[in-house]
Amino acid sequence: MPFGPGAKIKVGTLNKATPTPFDNASLKKSLENIGLSCAQINDQNLSTYITNVKSQLPDGAIQSMAIKAPHTSPLNANRLKAVAPVTLFTAATAVPKMTSAATGNWSIPDNNDAEGYGPNLEIIQYQDHFNWLFDNKSSNGFTGVKNSPPATSGNYPNAEAIQKLFVQVGLTASSTLVKGLDKPTMTATLSNVIQPLNDSNISNYDVSDSRVIDLVDNYDPKTGMADGIGVLTVSWHLTIEDYKRKTKDGGDTHATYLKMNAWSVLYTDPGVLCQQYSSVLQHFAINAASAPSCRTS
């Protein structure tokens, strides 16, 4: 039975949340992480950078109920206090545990897991699982979408390189959804994507990272129902050569490389979600007896 009008999915209680701000303070920290000096990141410049980024992001409709990062993400390595992994589903040992990376439009109360669908979506979004479903979509009816735009490379000032990353994260992620991704979700996701290197002696900034966004479509807090739920993953690889080099030492542009990938699926029928989840468990030899069940109504 579809999640849509007349037969919506029961998501249960989600708490209305204030998305993590993408503001001067968060951008200043990001730019410091890639070697910009205080003179280059004054309030006027920061406000201009933020305006430029936001003006290039589309306005979408699909909202978020969680924004997560793999436990292996540089985000977690650089936190002053370790963040406990979100307890979703890790029966497949290859699937990294997740931690909260930012706050979206809604938050899932403890021990709720969006009425149990959170663990199912976590397994489906894992890249090997998603690709297998995608490659067999002609027979299994999978409606997931992937986007892998061409890599961007060139010589850019650090600030311009980071603006390109921010815009590409938003555009690439949103492009996988028919209704697009809610702009506050995009900007919340951008709030901490640039992390410092742990080794200050490394000359090149070379980081791969990703974010996983749990999606909800047209959620009604009065009824706890929604038109659909899903998951979106966006990953990137950014390199900036000799990223700490200053103008006086040979110029302020740096050879930069950026590669993005995104994949998402939005379900409007719980029966289809559960069938595809079960097929992943079977194909990848995940013990169904120890895996969370999937509720079809």
CA distance 86 to 92: 15
Enumerate the domain spans of the chain: 9-283
Contact by Cβ (8 Å): 263, 146: yes
For helices 117-125 and 270-283, angle between their N-to-C axes, nearest 10 degrees = 50
Residue 170 has pLDDT above 90, yes or no: yes
Which residue intervals of the chain are DSSP H helices?
A: 24-33, 43-55, 74-77, 117-125, 127-135, 137-140, 158-174, 183-190, 270-283
- Least confident segment among 33-42, 55-64, 227-236: 33-42
- Average pLDDT of span 77-84: 56
Residue 167 has pLDDT above 50, yes or no: yes
Which residue matches tokens 């920061």? 46
State residue 282's pLDDT score. Answer: 94
State residue 3's pLDDT score. Answer: 47
CA angle at 67 for the pair 64 and 68, rounded to the nearest 5°? 150
Contact by Cβ (8 Å): 95, 122: yes
Three-state DSSP class for residue 253: strand
CA distance 190 to 165: 9
Please give the model's pTM, rounded to 2 decimal places. Answer: 0.90
Residue 78 has pLDDT above 70, yes or no: no
Neighbours of 226 (CB within 10 A): 26
pLDDT band at 94 (very low <50, low <70, confident <90, very high): low
State residue 88's pLDDT score. Answer: 43
Task: Give the whole-number percent of the chain exceeding pLDDT 70.
Answer: 86
Contact by Cβ (8 Å): 288, 281: yes
State residue 106's pLDDT score. Answer: 96
How do residues 230-285 score in pLDDT, each as one tens digit?
Answer: 999 999 999 988 887 765 555 678 888 999 999 999 999 889 999 999 999 999 99
- Average pLDDT of span 155-168: 87
State residue 84's pLDDT score. Answer: 53
